[in-house]
Amino acid sequence: MKKTFDFTVDDMTCGGCVKRITLAINKLDDSAEVNADLATKSVHLETRVSDFNIITQELDKIGYKPILK
């Protein structure tokens, strides 16, 4: 079963950021669905990862700080 997380990433400023963030999340869960909106720096995520801390740790490794809405 998938969980939904909505979060913002202040440093997500271009398509490259979106790609890196998506790849990092897909490394944890290749079935994850990542929908990013650069204009609002928001990400809508559906994933089998149930603990958002795991997502936070993975994105921290590549220099991004997700903040849950």
Residues of the shown chain interacting with Cu ion in the complex, contacts defined by CB under 5 A: 13-14, 16-17
Give the residue with the Cβ less far from Cu ion, 19 or 27. Answer: 19
Alpha helices of 1-69 — where are they, by DSSP H? Answer: 15-28, 52-61
Q: Which is nearer to Cu ion, 17 or 45 (CB)?
A: 17
Please report how close the Cβ of residue 55 comes to Cu ion at its closest, in angstroms: 18
* Least Å from the CB of residue 41 to Cu ion: 11
What is d(CA 41, CA 28) in angstroms, rounded to the nearest whole number? Answer: 21
Nearer residue to Cu ion within complex by CB, 2 or 8: 8
Give the whole-angstrom CA distance, residue 31 versus residue 41. 22
